[in-house]
Amino acid sequence: MAVRPDQLRIVHYPDPVLRRVAQPVEAVTDEVRAVARRMLQLMHEAPGVGLAAPQVGLPWRMFVANPTGEPDDDRVFINPVLSGPSREAASQQEGCLSLPGIQGDITRPTAITITALDLDGRSFTLTSDDLPARVWQHETDHLDGVLIIDKMPPIDRRANRRLLKELETAAPG
C-alpha cells in the first residue's frame, strides 16, 4: 500500500491505530523520507515537540522530534531502541498531539539513551538527561501503543475525564 504523505493528518484518541504496536521500518526509502518530512511539518504546525508514525495513522516504528523548536534541531528516529534508563525518575506535565487539551503528570526516567536509524539508514546513538529524554520516551510509548492516559496518576485521569469523553464522542464511526 503506497502512502500519500500529503494526505497524512494527526489522528486523535480513540483511533485504534494509537493502540497498535508499530512494526519496524524495513528499509529507508524515498517514501519513508517523504513521510518523515510530512510528519515534521505536521509537528511544527500543531505545534509540538514530537510526533510518532502511529499518530498519523501509520503502523511504523518511526518518530520525529524537535525539543528545542530550532529549525536545525529536527530529527528523525527510525526503528528506535531505548536503553540505559537512569534510576532517577521525575514527574512532569505532558500533553499529546493525539489527545488535544489533555495533560497529566507523567513519571519517567530522567536520562536515557536512544539508538535509531537516520534518513540515510545510518545508525546513531544519543543520550540525554533533559527534555529530549522525555520526548524520546513519550514517542517510543506511541510505537508500543501506550498513551499518556495510561501513565498518568488517577487524579489526572479524573481531571481529564470530560475531555476524554468529548474525544470519544467526536470520533468517527
| CATH number of the domain encompassing residue 62 | 3.90.45.10
Query: What's the structural domain count of the chain?
Result: 1
Determine whether 103 is exposed, middle or buried from the number of CB atoms within 10 Å of its CB (0-12, 13-18, 19+): middle
Q: How many residues does the chain have?
A: 173
81 bridge partner residues: 115
Could you list the residue range(s) of the whole structural domain that residue 121 is in? 5-170
Which pLDDT score is estimated for 171? 86
Local confidence pLDDT in tens for the 173 residues of the chain: 689 999 999 999 999 999 999 999 999 999 999 999 999 999 999 999 999 999 999 999 999 999 998 989 999 999 999 999 999 999 999 999 999 999 999 999 999 999 999 999 999 999 999 999 999 999 999 999 999 999 999 999 999 999 999 999 998 87
Chain-centre distance for alpha carbon 126: 17
Q: Which three cell numbers stand for residue 151?
A: 501513565
Task: Give residue 135's pLDDT.
Answer: 98
Written as one string, the DSSP assignment of the chain is ----GGG-----TT-GGGGSPPBPP----HHHHHHHHHHHHHHHHTT-SEEEGGGGT--BSEEEE-SS--GGG-EEEEEEEEE---S-EEEEEEE-TTSTT-EEEEEEES-EEEEEE-TTS-EEEEEESSHHHHHHHHHHHHHTT--HHHHS-HHHHHHTHHHHHHHHHHS--
Task: Supply the pTM of this predicted model.
Answer: 0.96
| Active site residue ranges | 139
According to DSSP, the β-strands at 50-52 and 89-95 are unpaired
Which residues does residue 146 pair with via DSSP β-bridges, in sequence order? none
In this structure, what C-alpha cell is assigned to residue 130?
533533559
